[in-house]
Structure 1
Amino acid sequence: MPLELHENTATLTGVVTVDEVEQLAAWLRVTQKAKVNLRRCNHLHTGAFQAMLRFQPKVTAAPADAFLATQVLPLLGGSSGVNRQGSEPP
């Protein structure tokens, strides 16, 4: 399952497709102080990326995927709050 939504944390895993965009955007819209774990995400549909740009959730774990980590994560503001190992700083 590419999208696991909990009270204030979402975990994106594997390939996040257009099928998950609406659910992710709706969750981001209603979740205060939303956090997103991208550690196991290796493809993010542009719609999901746009939803994250719009709602600015805190990225708690950097993606292991090199492209997402170097090209996408900095655009999400995740490069400042996530260390190289993909976990929150102490």
Structure 2
Amino acid sequence: MRMFKVIEGGRAQAVELDDGLGAGRGPNRDDVRREAARRLNESGYHLSRVREFATGVPMLASLKYLSLQIDFAAETLSRLDPIPEDFRSDGYWPAG
């Protein structure tokens, strides 16, 4: 009988980041990418992707599509000059 061990770390640990947005500078591309990653993590995409690799059962097409939409929104927002201060607003991102 094989036993599996859960490895904690990486995504399981929350990292508190200093935005620096109140320090006189506007948001940058890294801020937008972090927001995109946060939204993708909350959607359950990564868990579904791992499940697909482990079981061979395809992930939902809607999750794949949501991932594409989030990437597109992040790319579009990061190309704006200046990036809007309210880039975290749900109006800029696809509904999950």
TM range (shorter): under 0.3
- Bigger radius of gyration: 2
Greater strand fraction, Structure 1 or Structure 2 = 1
Greater helix fraction, Structure 1 or Structure 2 = 2
> Which of structures 1 and 2 has the larger relative contact order (alpha carbons within 8 angstroms, sep 6+)?
2
TM-score (norm 1): 0.25
